[in-house]
Chain A
Amino acid sequence: DAGVTQSPTHLIKTRGQHVTLRCSPISGHKSVSWYQQVLGQGPQFIFQYYEKEERGRGNFPDRFSARQFPNYSSELNVNALLLGDSALYLCASSLASSGGGTDTQYFGPGTRLTVL
């Protein structure tokens, strides 16, 4: 079975541009979460979506937005890119949004975004 997939693998943008990152969850998983990981730090929570609804948002500016589609895939959009947005963007999928029990989040390979 395929794991979480993300595209593109790498991306180079310049300041002020916008970017769209894509994620396909594990088959049967209905929840997708997005994380930003800056070098040397742990991942930071950006969004969680479940059944196309936003279920949680981390401490990120409004330049960051996301959505989930009927097939449970998701997009993360970042507008007006800043140098500080350079990071590894990780998508994780899980069965449900409750976060309880053993609702493990499984991570995709990530998209490495470089902003010049």
Chain B
Amino acid sequence: GQNIDQPTEMTATEGAIVQINCTYQTSGFNGLFWYQQHAGEAPTFLSYNVLDGLEEKGRFSSFLSRSKGYSYLLLKELQMKDSASYLCALNDYKLSFGAGTTVTVRA
């Protein structure tokens, strides 16, 4: 397996920054996705990293280091609507997902 690991839960305050880490143990993949999933809903696409480095999209940024088997998703200026599960997934035509990190944003 690819042993994709994410923290189970994180809590942060509205307006703060949270970093969700994702580690994996494989070298054979095309890229790494981050998806957001609200309870009872489908995952929605956030970002995709193919090359090492940082990809920035508004309040969300994602980073990939292939040599370290590591990625993170950075959520800035947290809003209550950001409370959700965040899934990292390795892409090699199929997606292999981690278990997801549930982020709770408190006022």
Which of A's residues lie within 8 Å of B, judged by CB?
4, 33, 35, 40-45, 48, 55-56, 58, 90, 92, 97-110
Contacts and interface: CB of A to CB of B under 8 A. Distances in A.
Interface of B is mostly: strand
A109 B98 contact: no
Interface of B: 4, 30-31, 33, 35, 41-45, 48, 50, 87, 89, 91-100
B49 to A, nearest CB: 10
23 contacts: A4-B42, A35-B95, A40-B99, A41-B100, A42-B87, A43-B43, A45-B96, A48-B93, A55-B93, A56-B93, A58-B94, A90-B42, A98-B93, A101-B50, A102-B48, A102-B50, A104-B45, A105-B45, A106-B45, A107-B42, A107-B43, A109-B42, A110-B41
A100 B98 contact: no
Contacts of B93: 48, 55-56, 97-99
Contacts of B43: 43, 90, 107
Given A101-B50, A106-B45, A108-B42, A42 B94 contact: no
A42 B100 contact: yes
